[in-house]
Structure 1
Amino acid sequence: MIKVYTQATQGHRWLQRYQGYPPVLACILGFTATGLIPGISAAGATPEDRKYTAIADAEFLVNGVTPQPQYPLPPLSVGASPVFISRAVVEAFNLPVYLFNAGLPQPPAVPAIDLAGVPANCLSTGNALPLKKVQQLLEQGLQWGHKLAEVAGEGYLIIGECVVGGTTTALAVLTGLGMAAAGKVNSSHLNCNHTQKWKIVQAGLRRAGGMGRRGDTGTRGRGDDEIDEIGRWGDEEFSGNFFNFSDPMQLVAAVGDPMQIVAAGMAIAASGSCGVLLAGGTQMLAVYALAQALALPSSGILQKYSLNWQPAQVVVGTTRWVAEDPTGDTVGLAEEISDVALMATLLNMATSRYPQLQAYEQGYVKEGVAAGGCAIAASLYQGWDSVRLLQAIEALVYRAC
């Protein structure tokens, strides 16, 4: 029920190493005002709904179905929240869950570890987060990575997230790291809104002073009819070649979100003594790339904190709906980053009796709240197949209706 798409040898070795071991789940909650831009995300039917998506998902992840949740799951235009997948696995195997508030407008209604972060400004400002706060969040991620690795023991740590608008901040960070990511990212929409994302990223990088043109014709992603044959996005020429930010933390401060730096620090620290499954698609590929950049000798992070970064211990795990999304290029993005094993659950909900679950097979929602990583864990830990997992998810949906 698991397919490895890139770095096959490394990915299968990781799966063999952790087969039969229970994971620990860390879910990092964050917020960016980017998520309030009309049409930027389908993780909430309206911008007002999206203000509460992360805290509602967190409450459901921990409590499951309750008669009167403080923050009910927000309505989606189509489909159901991916937290139904995550919660089904957490509930079935009694997985330990650690929630982290990396920067939310209001705290969740369930216990969460407060990292003293702040919500991010819209990335288009080029001034998303205070640099000092990014540095503090990195240190928190490193500290908790060490702690959770001890909890995981011989097992592995799943690092998930909930940040509405996070695929757009991911595009910004990947681009700022010098990668040709435009046209390759995913979204919760049926068809990825590449043009809208790209214009926002261009604005943010220009205002931050981190974007340059070098005259090449660039690369072309898939899935957006507004990209013409010579590499233009709407009215903007896409060169795909940018001046790198010399400091990855300055990049996050300019155009990132608070989850990214925490997750990267957590992955770096935990990888020294346990396996790490970055649970997500575009957003976790950006976290992996950020961790790579932080681990470079030029950043001085490994030396300063005496870290033992082991990238072979870290994989990215998502859903088939993300990995095979025809309106993005997740595999191409992973190959652009290089050296990262990308894998996905082959969970199929085409036969579900619930239309909101069948919607995943049409291309809606796709991923979130560590759904893909939890589905992978169900297969790794107890050998669950797609039919068994779908039964557990449907049982949860039935109780919620």
Structure 2
Amino acid sequence: MTATAVTDPVDLGLDPTRLGYLDDHLRRYVESGRLAGTLVLIARGGEIGHLSACGLADRERNVPMARDTIFRIYSMTKPLTSIALMQLYERGLVQLDDPVEKYIPEWKNLRVYVMGSGPSLVTKPVSRPMTVRDLLSHQSGLTYGFLERTNVDAMYREKKIGMAELNGTLRSMIEALAGLPLEFSPGEHWNYSVSTDVCGYLVEVISGQRFDRYLHEHVIAPLGMVDTAFHVPPEKQHRFAACYGYAPNGIRLIDDPASSDYLHEPTFFSGGGGLVSTIDDYFRFCQALLNGGELDGRRIIGRKTLDLMTENHLPDGKDLASHALGRWAETTFAGIGFGLGFSVTLDPARAQISGSPGEYSWGGAASTTFWIDPLEDLIVIFMTQLMPSNAYNIRRELRAIVYGALAD
């Protein structure tokens, strides 16, 4: 099996021989049965220099991976949601230091977990109120049930909070969270969480528009992201990839594109992980960011606002290794900070990755990822469908190969 070039290569300072290492590497993943298929895009200066597909989008039906394949992007939804909330910031409708209780009154008396469970639960008051910036930077004290690290995580699982198949609404999630303690007082730590789902709810409250409609009208449609949505309509089902789970002897089907929940419009519009998209759609989003917030004459965010979002917002310049609880996320921790919706590279040497200071990125639960390197005028997007995202070290491997291919 070979990787298929989807576009003719363009000379953008990318060594074609070294880019061949990338295709060979991904082909080995597919031929060994560790991945069903892959799609990778590399762009510089606004032009695609490399776009190649390998393997199958749907192994059970022998559907080849293609440029227009639709993927579950899971947490790669988070940057779009963060942009949506910061658009409202730019309109003067919300401030980063606003207490969240201003928009969610029932969260006024949030408490922090101390010990115990059930009727013997012991909590304490928060040291300070949760702010909008805490939500955007995952310093809110909220968590995810799938982390399976603490008793608070277990409470989330019991109430199905943050689960993709949640049968409810953003509002019902907010009501459920009001009755649960935080992991820590806001600002004290970083913890990957449902914070961005709450950001989606704030977009609803502040804009007065249902979150999915706001996101489509103000981010997705202006950028011409024609295949990005919270579900896959019938006419596009044939392009929808299968999703697989890691197994000791290869992979196993865990979400069939012929019967997936994504074929139906949800009631819960997850700003933290609900979107499907294509590699071209996500490239348009990334290129708008690299352009300072604008693409083809349509601006989705101001240049200085984007600068603010891609700064490190962890206290005292800390990295995730020194400020985070646990180690589950879509990034490494040493040498990596966090902004408002993105991880931010502070020190590539400390992170032990190829890259540049100021690069920002994120990934999704099914092993998708992207990064934007303003210093190199570079965008890289990788699409596949394998859970969990830490099954293999493929993201770091891709970085090494891509940066090794930069000729100038």
User: Comparing both structures, which one devotes a greater share of its residues to strand?
Assistant: 2
User: Comparing both structures, which one devotes a greater share of its residues to helix?
Assistant: 1
Which entry has the higher C-alpha Rg, 1 or 2? 2
- Higher relative contact order by CA 8 Å / sep ≥ 6: 1 or 2? 1
TM over 0.5: no
Q: TM-score, normalised by structure 1?
A: 0.26
Q: TM-score, normalised by structure 2?
A: 0.25
